[in-house]
Amino acid sequence: MRTNRVTGHGSRTEGRSRPTAFGFGRRVLQVILCSALAACGSNGEDTGAAGANRPRGGQAEQPTIPVRAEQVQVGEMVESVQTHARLEAERWVRVLARTTGLVEELLVEEGDPVRSGQVLLRLEKRQLNLQLEQARIDLDKVRSSFSRIQALHDNRMVSESEFEAARLQLNNAKLRYEEALLNLEFAEITAPISGVVMERMVELGDLVRANQELFQLAVLQPLLARINVPEKRMDRIRVGQEARLYIESLPHRVVTGHVRMINPGVDPRSGTVKVTIEIPDTEQRLMPGMFASVRIITEQRPEALVMPRRALIIETDDDDVFVVRDGQAQRVPVTLGFAQGDHVEILDGLQAGEYVITVGAEGLRSGTPVRIVGLPDPESTVADSDNDISVSPDADTDG
């Protein structure tokens, strides 16, 4: 019986010890789980902060793209009718010989200015003087004969026909004398106009014949440019409009003229109208035959917004540009006006002073970080302004 109690006691003791061990283990498990949850919570907060710092979509931070840009400026833009022409003299005269003789004296050379009536060339006069003397002798002889016949005619001693024949001989003798006198005067070749000797076609000692060309003279002030304008564009051209000429042999100069006259008819073969432009040459640097690009100014806008043509995006048919705003490239639609050379007019979409990207726009999107390279240093700009460097007024940025 004692044994059973012991056994029972041991059983009771064993039954009490099991719940105690299980409760302790459960508490340990709870502590471990709380620690794990705390660790997971801190890891979640770190992960969330890192996720907030990363760009959306899991992409890496975009690099800054270097580009070149130019400012939108205020300048003059014009609408024009453009064509090409060669400069011409206002008057071009050929000087011809009016008698025959040897060239005895040359008084001018090519390029010399001459006045109207100035002697250019003298022919040998000895033969002409002899011809004049012979004509004078013949005239005196015929005049004396006519006087006798006229006296007989008055006394009715000669017929009317004989009297008329004698008078005819006298008239012919007078004409031969006047012709010989003119030939002597024509031995001195004079300038018919005031101008410049453009070409001399004879040499000293040449035998000159009547109607032979000796010189070419031209009036070079002002010069003219004759152009042919399509009739469909004539509604914009008026007499007196400004014309700008860009001379091929003078690349850094722009010559200004004006529309002098407009032909009243249309050429049926070409459908064009001849327009004459007058170009004053106060500096005497222009010459007939120079090739020029001619622009007749039909409308002017002196305070237009101007940007480089190459800033336009050519990927689409729309007129768009990339503008640098707050360090980012922004695609902006624009409305264009006049086009002039490498520049275009902006009617809407931009403001003066904004930078438009001209190089490096390929592949850009709105919002892409960009950095403008090649801008002038402000300190160097100030230094340059202190040097008082002036730009020649002859340079023209319209072409």
DSSP state of 63: P
CA 320 vs. chain centroid, Å, equals 26
Q: What are residue 34's phi and psi, to 5 degrees? A: -65, -40
* This prediction's pTM: 0.60
Beginning with the edge strand found earlier in the chain, give each strand of the sheet holding 207-208 in spatial order: 188-190, 119-123, 101-106, 207-208
Q: Is CATH 1.10.1040.10 correct for 125-185?
A: no
Domain spanning 81-87+219-300: which CATH class is it, in words? Answer: mainly beta
Q: Which two tokens stand for residue 141?
A: 């002889």
- Any idea which fold 65-77+301-386 has? 2.40.420
Nearest to 245 by CA among 217, 287, 274, 273: 287
Per-10-residue mean pLDDT of the chain, 399 residues long, equals 38 39 48 45 41 46 85 88 93 94 94 95 91 92 89 84 89 92 92 95 94 95 94 92 91 91 94 95 90 91 90 84 91 89 89 90 87 64 34 35
Q: What is the pLDDT of residue 383?
A: 36
Domain ranges, ordered by start, for the chain: 65-77+301-386, 81-87+219-300, 98-123+187-211, 125-185
- Taking the C-alpha atoms of residue 234 and residue 265, their distance in angstroms, rounded to an integer, is 11
Burial pattern 149-161, b for ≥16 Cβ within 10 A else e, equals beeebeeeebeee
Q: Beta-carbon neighbour count of residue 121 at 10 Å?
A: 23
- Please tell me the predicted confidence (pLDDT) of residue 376: 58
Task: From 261, 253, 260, 262, select the one nearest 282 (Cα to Cα).
Answer: 253
CA–CA dist 73, 306 (Å, integer): 5
DSSP string computed for 250-261:
STT-EEEEEEEE
Cβ contacts of residue 327 below 8 Å, gap of 6+?
A: 64, 369, 370, 371
Asked, colleague to colleague, whether 65-77+301-386 and 81-87+219-300 share their fold, the answer is no
Nearest-angstrom CA–CA distance, 273 and 264: 8
Contact between 94 and 201 (Cβ < 8 Å): no
How far is C-alpha 180 from the chain's CA centre?
58
Element (H, E) at 329: strand 328-333
Q: What is the pLDDT of residue 53?
A: 41
**Third-level CATH fold of 98-123+187-211:** OB fold (Dihydrolipoamide Acetyltransferase, E2P) (2.40.50)
Structure tokens at 131: 């011809």
